[in-house]
């Protein structure tokens, strides 16, 4: 039971790292990145390629860097030009991008499953209250905690973080105050996609790498983001932990309906609170 | 609640054009139905007839996406869920023989419609992007259920659709041979388009477009704004279910792939390349999609990247789709001739 809950926490951690990227991007750009799962997948493959040259940690660093740069490109080429259009435009363009990314990775790496091993120092087991648990999984939880803490500090304590929060509430007024919201938006998108790269590499040792690996994680992320209230970081954090937990319990106890359980939770939350878990409505 | 003419949205050309068009529209529909009967006579190639049948079924699915966007301004990423659910309803009933096949066909249309209506009361209220995300999530959840509940649906292997010799008094072979099925799906497509056009002109149709453009104002005038949008979502599920039922009869075999998001994605691509603001836009999109896919299939393995690239380019450069472009060009030529 303890191991089950811990595993739920591991999945929730991954969901959080991905979802918070979606929330960041949505906050500043008011778009949903349907390619986010694709970026997660690309992140895993970039990490795999770099890790085969320099080991796991190099893979992790390279993947975050490459995906952050890619985020800047996506922001310049797609998000910014389409901000004034109907949201359907970004849905379609990022969906197109997803297809291109999947096909590109399939061409470069092939269809077969690839395996990225966890680093040696984390490949052992630790004992938690007498139950053995892979230390790598504990590391994944730790990464999510660090990401959450750093993001919270950055957003709440730093000057730039204040600007980001202001711009996500009202970009026009923030701009009038003399803050370059375009640079801010670009930076936030880069952080969001960089986090997708981080999540991809961190998740890689837990699941096999395939060009379609992003799809099912992305769907749970969407449920997290909507349940959390679209723009709320705390909402995403709580929702990711809850959905991760419920998902895993569902897989263990009702395998055929595992995918329905998170949805039911979301429906209940939305019926009770139409704007999600977050307090204020936008 | 009398229908107010000011509710008509600008791109439809205003109510006066709406009223005058019904006779012409029905005439065009009649011609198209007759043309449908001539399809198997004119086209002798079995391959072309098969492709045409598939394209028409996909066009129905694409129309369900386009209609939802046209009326509600919402983008569904999960229409394959309703399509596959309908197809599986027919197939699963054939497997267990719970009710008569005719009843199963009716149930296959009713169940997705009712489920969509119930779900709609929750998700139609959400912002556009959240709605899209959730349609995807719901359809994938249904997909998982049919994939993993092996005693019901036999998992990845799919199930054969067992059908009686006659369905609704019609020989079952009519549904299973491309040279007759092409006529049936074609007529179904024409009827669905006509029905949706009538819906668009009805009070609910006009009201939903008003809500699409400004929900707050519509509510201010005193309209209840949730229910009409739920109706639109349910109707779009019904159209997808019609396609699903026809598919199960035609194909005689169903697999979880019918519920997969990639099929929803294809329908979305067809609808938006074609241009959902025009009712026949998704049909144009489906036709082009099949032509391109057939052509690309012979030359390259990179079809997903090609269609993904096309989708990106069309969305950025031609946000109203090809049908929108055609309509604009047509209008310009028309006005020049009139002047």
Residue B338: what pLDDT? 66
**pLDDT averaged over every residue in chain A:** 89
Tell me the average pLDDT across A17-30.
90
* Rg of the Cα atoms in chain A: 18
Q: Tell me whether A35 touches chain B (CB under 8 Å).
A: no
Q: Tell me whether A145 touches chain B (CB under 8 Å).
A: no
| pLDDT tens string B55-77 | 999 999 999 999 999 999 999 99
What percentage of chain A exceeds 90 in pLDDT?
49
Confidence of residue B6 (pLDDT cuts 50, 70, 90): very low
Per the listing, tokens 């041979």 go with B177
The complex scores an ipTM of 0.86
| pLDDT tens string A64-74 | 999 999 999 99
Residue B339: what pLDDT? 58
Task: Name every chain A residue with its beta carbon within 8 A of the beta carbon of B311.
Answer: 92-93, 95-96, 99
Which comes out higher in pLDDT, residue A2 or B232?
B232
The answer to whether the Cβ–Cβ distance between A99 and B305 falls below 8 Å is yes
Q: Which of A85, A220, A260 sits opposite B319 (nearest CB)?
A: A85
The answer to whether the Cβ–Cβ distance between A230 and B129 falls below 8 Å is yes
Q: Do A11 and A144 contact (CB within 8 A), yes or no?
A: no
Q: Is the pLDDT of residue B11 over 60?
A: no
Task: Name every chain B residue with its beta carbon within 8 A of the beta carbon of A19.
Answer: none
Q: Do A161 and A155 contact (CB within 8 A), yes or no?
A: yes
- Best of A25, A95, A232, A277 to disrupt the B interface by mutation (most B CBs within 10 Å)? A95
Kindly list the domain boundaries of chain B, sorted by start residue: 45-338
CA distance B93 to B237: 20
| pLDDT tens string B116-148 | 999 999 889 888 888 988 898 899 889 988 998
Q: Is B7 helix (H, G, I), strand (E, B) or coil?
A: helix
Q: Tell me whether A219 touches chain B (CB under 8 Å).
A: yes
* Segment holding B234, helix H or strand E: helix B226-251
Angle (CA) B65-B67-B68 rounded to 5° is 65
Tell me the average pLDDT across A55-59.
94
Q: Which residue of B has its CA nearest to A26?
A: B129
Kindly list the domain boundaries of chain A, sorted by start residue: 2-211
**pLDDT averaged over every residue in chain B:** 88
Q: Which residues contact B27 (CB under 8 A, 6 or more apart)?
A: none
Residue B20: what pLDDT? 52
Q: Which of B69, B136, B148 sits opposite A219 (nearest CB)?
A: B136
CA distance B193 to B286: 14
Q: Which residue of A has its CA nearest to B121?
A: A271
Which is it for the CA torsion B117, A85, B218, B8, positive or negative? negative
Residue A37: what pLDDT? 92
What percentage of chain A exceeds 70 in pLDDT?
99
Task: Name every chain B residue with its beta carbon within 8 A of the beta carbon of A37.
Answer: none
Ranges B1-10, B265-274, B306-315: which has the least confidence: B1-10
CA distance A113 to B57: 34
Backbone angles phi, psi at B147, to 5 degrees: -75, -40
DSSP annotation of A114 = B
Tell me the average pLDDT across A212-229.
87
Backbone angles phi, psi at B51, to 5 degrees: -60, -40
Q: Is the pLDDT of residue B103 over 80?
A: yes
Residue B229: what pLDDT? 95
Q: Which residue of B has its CA nearest to A247?
A: B141
């Amino acid at each position: 039971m303890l191991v089950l809950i811990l595993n739920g926490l591991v999945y929730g951690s991954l969901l959080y790292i991905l979802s918070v990227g979606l929330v960041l991007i949505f906050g500043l750009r008011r778009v949903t990145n349907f390619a986010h799962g694709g970026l997660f997948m690309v992140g895993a493959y970039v990490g795999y390629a770099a890790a085969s040259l320099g080991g796991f940690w190099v893979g992790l660093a390279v993947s975050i860097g490459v995906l952050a740069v890619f985020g800047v490109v996506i922001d310049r080429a797609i998000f910014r030009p389409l901000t004034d259009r109907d949201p359907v435009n970004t849905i379609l363009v990022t969906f197109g991008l997803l297809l291109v990314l999947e096909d590109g990775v399939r061409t470069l790496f092939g269809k077969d499953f690839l395996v990225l091993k966890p680093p040696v120092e984390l490949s052992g087991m630790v004992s938690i209250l007498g139950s053995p648990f892979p230390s790598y999984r504990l590391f994944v939880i730790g990464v999510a905690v660090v990401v959450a803490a750093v993001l919270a500090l950055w957003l709440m304590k730093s000057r730039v973080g204040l600007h980001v929060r202001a711009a996500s509430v009202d970009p026009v007024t923030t701009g009038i105050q003399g803050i370059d919201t375009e640079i801010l938006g670009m930076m936030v998108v880069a952080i969001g996609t960089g986090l997708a790269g981080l999540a991809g590499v961190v998740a890689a040792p837990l699941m096999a790498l395939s060009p379609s690996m992003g799809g099912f994680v992305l769907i749970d992320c969407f449920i997290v983001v909507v349940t959390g209230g679209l723009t709320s970081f705390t909402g995403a954090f709580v929702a990711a932990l809850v959905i991760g937990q419920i998902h895993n319990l569902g897989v263990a106890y009702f395998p055929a309906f595992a995918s329905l359980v998170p949805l039911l939770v979301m429906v209940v939350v939305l019926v009770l609170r139409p704007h999600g878990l977050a307090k204020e409505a936008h | 609640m009398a229908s107010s003419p000011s509710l008509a949205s600008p791109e439809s050309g205003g109510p006066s054009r709406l009223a005058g068009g019904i006779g012409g529209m029905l005439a065009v529909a009649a011609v198209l139905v007759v043309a449908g009967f001539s399809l198997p006579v004119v086209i002798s190639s079995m391959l072309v007839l098969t492709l045409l049948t598939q394209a028409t079924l996909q066009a129905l699915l694409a129309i369900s996406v386009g209609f939802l966007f046209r009326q509600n301004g919402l983008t569904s990423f999960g229409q394959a869920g309703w399509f596959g659910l309908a197809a599986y309803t027919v197939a699963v009933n054939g497997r267990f023989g719970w009710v008569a096949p005719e009843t199963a066909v009716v149930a296959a249309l009713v169940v997705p419609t009712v489920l969509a209506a119930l779900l709609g009361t929750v998700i139609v209220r959400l912002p556009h992007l959240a709605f899209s995300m959730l349609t995807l999530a719901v359809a994938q959840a249904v997909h998982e259920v049919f994939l993993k509940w092996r005693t019901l649906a036999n998992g990845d292997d799919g199930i054969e659709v067992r059908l009686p010799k006659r369905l609704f008094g019609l020989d079952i072979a009519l549904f299973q041979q491309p040279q007759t099925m092409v006529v049936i799906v074609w007529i179904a497509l024409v009827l669905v388009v006509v029905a949706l056009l009538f819906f668009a002109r009805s009070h609910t149709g006009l009201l939903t477009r008003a809500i699409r453009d400004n929900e707050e104002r519509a509510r201010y005038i005193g309209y209840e704004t949730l229910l009409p949008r739920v109706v639109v979502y349910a109707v779009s599920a019904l159209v997808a279910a019609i396609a699903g039922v026809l598919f199960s009869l035609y194909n005689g075999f169903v697999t979880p792939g019918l519920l997969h998001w990639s099929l929803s994605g294809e329908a979305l691509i067809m609808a938006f390349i074609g241009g959902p603001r025009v009712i026949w836009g998704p049909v144009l999109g489906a036709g082009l999609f099949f032509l391109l896919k057939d052509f690309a299939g012979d030359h390259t393995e990179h079809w997903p990247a090609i269609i993904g690239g096309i989708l990106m380019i069309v969305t950025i450069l031609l946000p109203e789709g090809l049908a929108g472009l055609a309509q604009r060009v047509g209008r310009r030529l028309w006005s020049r001739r009139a002047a």
